[in-house]
Amino acid sequence: MAEEAFDLIVMPGGLDGTENLARDRRVVKMLQEQLASGRPVGAICAAPTVLDRHGLAPGKTITCHPTCRDAIQGARLSEDRVVRDGLLVTSQGPGTAIEFALKLVELLMGRDKMLEVNTGVLARID
Active-site positions read: 45
18 touches 45 (CB < 8 A): yes
What is the C-alpha to C-alpha distance for residues 1 and 126, in angstroms, rounded to an integer? 36
84 touches 101 (CB < 8 A): no
What is the C-alpha to C-alpha distance for residues 13 and 11, in angstroms, rounded to an integer? 7
What is the C-alpha to C-alpha distance for residues 49 and 46, in angstroms, rounded to an integer? 6
Plot region of 44 (φ>0 → left; ψ -120 to 50 → alpha; else → beta): beta
